[in-house]
């Protein structure tokens, strides 16, 4: 039986499980965790061969044409260089919907999916929503699908990210208004929202030393990092914007750095937010905060 080579020239027939094993062996150094490696290889094969889990059992023999061989080998090469599988195949799921992702946007994290899901389950339908730092648009689009009558705005500093987000909104059939703006320097539109959400940059520069190459070498640093000298920079600015632009009794929801939870609670208290709740993620780390604006102080 032929095996895939670096110069594919003919159709190959191979059992899916054999192919999966070969790829896992090839990626052993880049992805030492066997379960993670097998899951990533399965995503690669599923994407390029258009198979699902049942095919590994019911239809185990796959036919691989030269163009598909090339795509698989290219994908394998990129994975060996620690590129995330989501960028290799160009998509990822978030709350059950398929989103396009490119190196212009962060890959949505399970922790983000967790708090967005929780928010949707417990929140009354808001009239209007603002997502600050939308990236791929996953939060804004997911909320729009959950609350179809809400007017949803989403802003980002990156025009490349906004292009990805606009594509995702179109593909998923929702109407989201995208705004190019820098939350640190540009004024927001002169309107109010019922709900403001944000997953801002919150990773300190000193944390780079502990980060895996698949994040550090590929994901956009603009969306990840904040200076060590002012780790609360984005939170302080977003809270100030929320005071000006939230409706009375409007809700602010923020994803946070686990080390900053109590400090962000203090910022919200000083800004006259009430009903401040600090939530832990599935790993029991402080991960998101929700607060209600009961008054409109001048700050």
Tens digit of each residue's pLDDT (9 = 90 or more) over 229-257: 999 999 999 999 999 999 999 999 999 99
Going by pLDDT thresholds of 50, 70 and 90, the confidence category of residue 59 is confident
Per-residue pLDDT at 1: 37
Residue 296 has pLDDT above 70, yes or no: no
pLDDT tier at 298, thresholds 50, 70, 90: low
Question: In terms of domains, do 160 and 58 share one?
Answer: no
CB 151 within 8 A of CB 127: yes
DSSP 12-72: EEEEHHHHHHHHHHHTTTT---HHHHHHHHHHHHHHHHT--TTHHHHS-EEEE-HHHHHHH
Same domain, 199 and 133: yes
pLDDT at 155 over 50: yes
Same domain, yes or no: 191 and 231? yes
Q: Are 79 and 88 in contact (CB under 8 A)?
A: yes
Question: Can you give the residue range of the structural domain that contains 165?
Answer: 105-293
Task: Report the candidate in 254, 220, 276 with the shortest Cα–Cα distance to residue 131.
Answer: 254
How do residues 177-231 score in pLDDT, each as one tens digit?
999 999 999 999 999 999 999 999 999 999 988 899 999 999 999 999 999 999 9
Looking at 47, 81, 115, the residue that finishes a domain is 81
Residue with the bigger pLDDT between 208 and 92: it is 92
The CATH number of the domain where 109 resides is what? Answer: 3.40.50.150
Structural domain contains residue 5: no
155 and 262 housed in the same domain: yes
Same domain, 216 and 278: yes
Given its phi and psi angles, is residue 209 left (phi above 0), alpha (psi -120 to 50 degrees) or beta? alpha
Q: What is the pTM of this model?
A: 0.92
35 and 136 both lie in a single domain: no
* pLDDT digits 0-9 by tens, 15-49: 898 899 999 999 999 999 999 999 999 999 999 99
Residue 165 φ then ψ, to 5°: -65, -40
| Shared-domain flag, residues 202 and 254 | yes
Residues 109 and 76 in one domain: no
Confidence of residue 2 (pLDDT cuts 50, 70, 90): very low
């Amino acid at each position: 039986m032929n095996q895939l080579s670096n110069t594919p020239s003919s159709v190959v027939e191979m059992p899916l499980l054999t192919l999966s094993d070969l790829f896992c062996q090839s990626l052993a150094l880049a992805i030492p965790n066997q379960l993670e490696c097998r899951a990533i290889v399965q995503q690669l094969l599923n994407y390029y061969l258009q198979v699902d889990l049942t095919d590994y059992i019911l239809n185990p023999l796959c036919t691989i044409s030269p163009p598909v061989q090339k795509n698989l080998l290219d994908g394998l090469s990129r994975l060996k260089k620690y590129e995330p599988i989501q960028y290799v195949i160009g998509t990822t799921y978030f709350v059950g919907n398929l989103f396009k992702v490119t190196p212009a946007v962060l890959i949505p994290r399970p922790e983000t999916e967790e708090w967005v899901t929780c928010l949707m389950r417990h929140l009354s339908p808001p009239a209007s929503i603002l997502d600050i730092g939308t990236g791929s648009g996953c939060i804004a689009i997911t909320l729009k699908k959950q609350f179809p009558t809400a007017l949803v705005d989403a802003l980002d500093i990156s025009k490349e990210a906004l292009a990805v987000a606009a594509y995702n909104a179109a593909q998923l059939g929702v109407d989201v208004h995208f705004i190019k703006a820098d939350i640190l320097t540009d004024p927001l539109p002169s309107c109010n929202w019922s709900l403001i959400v944000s997953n801002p940059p919150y990773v300190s520069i000193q944390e780079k030393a502990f980060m895996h190459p698949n994040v550090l070498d590929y994901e956009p640093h603009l969306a990840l990092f904040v200076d060590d000298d002012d780790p609360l920079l984005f939170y302080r600015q977003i809270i100030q914007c929320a005071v000006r632009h939230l409706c009375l009794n409007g809700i602010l929801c923020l994803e946070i750095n686990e080390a900053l939870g109590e400090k962000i609670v203090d910022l919200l208290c000083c800004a006259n937010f009430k009903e401040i709740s600090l939530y832990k993620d599935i790993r029991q780390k402080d991960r998101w905060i929700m607060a209600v604006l009961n008054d409109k102080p001048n700050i």
